[in-house]
Structure 1
Amino acid sequence: MTGSVGEDHKSLAHSLQSRHVTMISLGGIIGAGIFVGSSAAINIAGPSVLFTYAMCGTLVFVIMRMLGEMAVARPGVGTFTGYTRLGLGPWAGFVNGWLYFYFWVVTIAVEAIAGAALLAPVVPLPQWIVAGALVAITTGINLMSVRAYGETEFWFAALKVATITAFIALGAGYVFGFGPGLPAITVQFAAHGGLFPQGWQAVFTAIPVVIFSMMGSEVATIAAVETADPAKNVVRAARTVTLRILFFYLGSISVIVAIVPWDQILTGQSPFADAMSRIHIPGAAAIMSVVVFTAVTSCLNSAIYVTSRMLHEMAERGDAPALFAEVSGRRVPTTAILVSALSGMAMVLVSVISPERAFVFLLQSSGAIILCVYLLIALSQIALRRRLEAAGEPLPVKVWAFPFVSYALVGGILAVLVLMASKPDLREQVSLCAMLFLFAVAAFHLRKRVGTAAVTS
């Protein structure tokens, strides 16, 4: 091996293009959460869930704007965990990285199990074997090259985008054109309780369900690291995420509640398929099964990518074992990918061995982690912005009306956590997440103490 080749192998490839990052960020917010999970949100709030989606979309948009501001002000730092480290200190980068890794490892198992369940009618094998096969396939894609991952995600996301766009177009045509017409829809709304059938409080009660379906846009900041211009691609994703959320989420949910009476939507079943069958689209259920399976596989593919890059970045700055920083001849972190996939598969096996105890604990403990991750990002932006302004440094990209918008976001996240803690069915998620957060902080200080002792000895 020549010296130059060896140099190439020391770092990740930068072969992703802006179109990959765009579709990865788009795919991050269009998953099974909207195709199936939206049924739970609609059941909670009825048509007023549109206000919930608008509020949660604004929260995600501000988070992305914060990341764009920090990426332009301090390019080359890495993923968002690098910015939490820069803003709040090494402990924040360590905690955020490991919490995010844990969240996505659980996601690997959840998505693999969901994919296996969707295939159960056509693949008569034990669920854990099918789940293992899905993990193996997506692991193979990630091991090939980052370009292979990017292309796969590009086409997965393209299918989801095309499906939702066609759904909104057909639904709008049905409501305003070839269907019963707007007057009939208005009568339907009145007959089922109007815009706020569950009261205005339900708009806020549905927030935990909706916010988790919208997570994933921050994956664009991880993928952007492997492009030629990371900061530019992060900003591009930050600028367009709101329009995407408004169009895809608000557009599709508006069509659903206009066509299907909200109290006839069954939790856990796709309201998209229900709406399509009422428009008399042939094979609506089969079409949505294919789309939901694509969404699940896409999320599984991204979960392995995200967990491996988290391990790689943490290893580079000393927050994880150094072997995870090693890169193969294909410029991918092979060890990190394999360990991520095996960790996810281990959780799949836990779901078989102890579905009611151990696996439920894993699911519950990961429930509120994404909110903790967003909270640390917001606090990092506030701290870094104050330092940059004190130093008189220019900020080409800014979060507007600082510090009011930033503090409002922090308050909003804390309010959601308090809301979750007040609900008996969500309270355990918050307490277990808090336990994991404190465990990660303790692990950081233990690692720091051990490292200091090793140096002094």
Structure 2
Amino acid sequence: MQELVIHPTFAIVACMTSHPTGTEPGGQKLERALSNRHIQLIAIGGAIGTGLFMGSGKTISVAGPSVILVYMIIGFMLYFVMRAMGELLLSRTGYRNFADFAGDILGPWAAFFTGWTYWFCWIVTGVADVIVIASVYIKFWLPTIPLWVPALAVIVLLVLLNLPSVKGFGETEFWFAMIKIVAIVALIVVGLVLIFTGFTHEYEHGTGTASFMNLFDQNGGFFGGEFMGFVMGFQIAVFAFVGIELVGTAAAETKNPEHNLPKAVNAIPVRILLFYVGSLIILMSVVPWQNFSKDESPFVMLFSLAGLGAAAHLVNLVVLTSATSSANSGIYSTSRMVYGLATDGDAPRVFAKLSGKKVPQNALFLSGVCLLSAIVLLVFGLDKSQGFSIVTTISSLCFMFVWTIILISYLVYRKRRPQDHDASKFKMPGGLFMPYVVMAFFVFLLWAFTRDPDTLAGLIATPIWFVLVGIGYLALRNNPAHAKLRAEHNAKVAEETKAAAAYTAGR
């Protein structure tokens, strides 16, 4: 764990000497090169992670068929986070990501905490992805190769894919997401064939026949894992949704964002129903839920039962692609977030420089260097330990912090800028009520994380990060330029509050 936090610490210390200007150097701007198909598939890739292909076996074995409700509830709640983010991003043409609107609405502290926390989220997730790629997926095919070799190769590959242009990232994510979609559709089709042909197979716990009734009449029924199994399902499943907000970091590089961002956000419920809920229903209908193992991919199990001898190799390719996609998303989003922080004075100005292809190459190299922590962990043999449960918990909690900042920004926006909300063409459904419902749900998730020793350890360790960020921000506050920035924000808040009162009175 120490190796995972030391790089962000150095980054915070470095940005203590930066000078907030809020401008992009030389008038440079990110290029809007991501088309509708890129954004649509980036959104799918962000909503479908390795958690579905590998982690769903554990959630099924713990919660039983009720895991279907777990994924539906989490997806339902996060849809409103995405809608709040969408309305806010489109309310000002200058917003590049959610750290921008958090700083503009809540104050400079919010941009600093949100930007660096989101950066930390993806660095931790990216390090974990690189370790898993090297120690599990590549080792599956090349068991004798030193683990640091594929880890280094993956990091270099990701940097090279992102360096030429933002379109390179978009194309890579497009095809990564297509592989995920094909795998899930194939699973659903194969599963339906097995169900409608009455497939029967011998399992460790007896004979099972493929049928939709397996969801209700097997070992305790739909809630076979009982209440605590249902709760444990949430703490495992929430990590599968990290990255769902990824389209928010691509706002500044999206063509026609007024059309493409709403389209991508509104498609999220359908994707969750089809890819998560649909595949889980098929899996537990073909194989009674008590026969799933937390250590085996349910996708491998189903394809093997169907007589596909190459199932293990095919699914290994899919999960390898999924993990690489996650790491690719991480290196993209962290580079854009550091670039935004640098242009606002919350990171060293060297990271605000764009290449000739409009790519923040210095910020990209920073993320690549931080991912090298994975090699250190592999060399010290930390690839298989309880630390990964703690790491995923820390990552989930930090993502929840970012999601909460988005919701709080929306509530303040509604209060201070009613005229912008009335003029919005992409209003968040549920108005001022749903943000409180979603934040109450996040409180429930915090309680769920206390129910398991590993996730509890992650919950206890997470505040260390916010202490480090707080120290960095307190040092930055002493910068005269940053004090001026806060004064300007306070003056703008006073003006907006006065304008909101006049607008409300004139309705």
Q: Give distance in 2, aligned partners of 1:9 and 1:400.
A: 37
Q: Which residue of 2 aligns with 1:4?
A: none
Structure 1 stretch displaced more, 358-367 or 421-430? 358-367
Structure 1 position 305 matched with structure 2 position 332:
yes
Per the alignment, do residues 197 and 341 of structure 1 end up closer, same or farther by CA in structure 2, a change over 3 Å counting?
same
Per the alignment, do residues 175 and 227 of structure 1 end up closer, same or farther by CA in structure 2, a change over 3 Å counting?
same
In the TM superposition, residue 18 of structure 1 has moved relative to its aligned partner by 1.2
Q: Give distance in 2, aligned partners of 1:332 and 1:187.
A: 51
In the TM superposition, residue 389 of structure 1 has moved relative to its aligned partner by 2.0
Alpha-carbon deviations, 1:184-216, whole Å to 9, x = none? 552685243211112134323211211110121
Amino acid aligned to 1:214: F
Within 5 A, what are the aligned runs for 1:185-224?
185-186=212-213, 189-224=216-251
Q: Which residue of 2 aligns with 1:41?
A: 59
In the TM superposition, residue 453 of structure 1 has moved relative to its aligned partner by 9.2
User: Please, which of 299, 313, 318 is the counterpart of residue 291 of structure 1?
Assistant: 318
Per the alignment, do residues 139 and 187 of structure 1 end up closer, same or farther by CA in structure 2, a change over 3 Å counting?
closer
In the TM superposition, residue 275 of structure 1 has moved relative to its aligned partner by 1.4
Structure 1 position 419 matched with structure 2 position 439:
no
Within 5 A, what are the aligned runs for 1:226-241?
226-241=253-268
In the TM superposition, residue 399 of structure 1 has moved relative to its aligned partner by 2.0
Q: How many residues align?
A: 450
Structure 1 position 166 matched with structure 2 position 186:
yes
Q: Which residue of 2 aligns with 1:273?
A: 300
Per the alignment, do residues 9 and 37 of structure 1 end up closer, same or farther by CA in structure 2, a change over 3 Å counting?
farther
User: Please, which of 310, 317, 342 is the counterpart of residue 369 of structure 2?
Assistant: 342
Structure 1 position 333 matched with structure 2 position 351:
no
Q: Give distance in 1, aligned partners of 2:191 and 2:388.
A: 39
Q: Which residue of 1 aligns with 2:402?
A: 373
Q: Give distance in 1, aligned partners of 2:36 and 2:44.
A: 12
In the TM superposition, residue 357 of structure 1 has moved relative to its aligned partner by 9.9
Within 5 A, what are the aligned runs for 1:338-417?
338-353=365-380, 355=382, 365-389=394-418, 393-417=422-446
Q: Which residue of 2 aligns with 1:122?
A: 141
In the TM superposition, residue 125 of structure 1 has moved relative to its aligned partner by 2.1
In the TM superposition, residue 183 of structure 1 has moved relative to its aligned partner by 8.3
Contact kept, 8 Å, 1:13 with 1:226, in 2: the verdict is yes
Contact kept, 8 Å, 1:139 with 1:337, in 2: the verdict is yes
Q: Which residue of 2 aligns with 1:72?
A: 90
Amino acid aligned to 2:103: R
Amino acid aligned to 1:235: P
Structure 1 position 449 matched with structure 2 position 467:
no
Structure 1 position 256 matched with structure 2 position 276:
no
Contact kept, 8 Å, 1:21 with 1:224, in 2: the verdict is no
Equivalent position SS for 1:69: helix
Equivalent position SS for 1:400: coil
Amino acid aligned to 2:196: F
In the TM superposition, residue 361 of structure 1 has moved relative to its aligned partner by 7.0
Q: Give distance in 2, aligned partners of 1:31 and 1:178.
A: 31
Q: Give distance in 2, aligned partners of 1:361 and 1:177.
A: 43
Amino acid aligned to 1:433: T
Contact kept, 8 Å, 1:63 with 1:378, in 2: the verdict is yes
Which residues of structure 2 form unaligned runs of 5+? Answer: 1-24, 201-207, 485-507
User: What do you get for the CA RMSD once the two structures are aligned?
Assistant: 2.6
Structure 1 stretch displaced more, 169-178 or 409-418? 169-178
User: Please, which of 323, 326, 343 is the counterpart of residue 316 of structure 1?
Assistant: 343
In the TM superposition, residue 61 of structure 1 has moved relative to its aligned partner by 0.8
In the TM superposition, residue 37 of structure 1 has moved relative to its aligned partner by 0.8
User: Please, which of 47, 54, 61 is the counterpart of residue 72 of structure 2?
Assistant: 54
Q: Which residue of 2 aligns with 1:93?
A: 111
Alpha-carbon deviations, 1:351-392, whole Å to 9, x = none? 433736998876664342111111111111111122222777
Contact kept, 8 Å, 2:299 with 2:315, in 1: the verdict is yes
Q: Give distance in 1, aligned partners of 2:39 and 2:482.
A: 42
Contact kept, 8 Å, 2:194 with 2:210, in 1: the verdict is no
Contact kept, 8 Å, 1:116 with 1:127, in 2: the verdict is yes
Q: Give distance in 1, aligned partners of 2:294 and 2:190.
A: 23
* TM-score normalised by length of structure 1: 0.91
Q: Which residue of 2 aligns with 1:3?
A: none
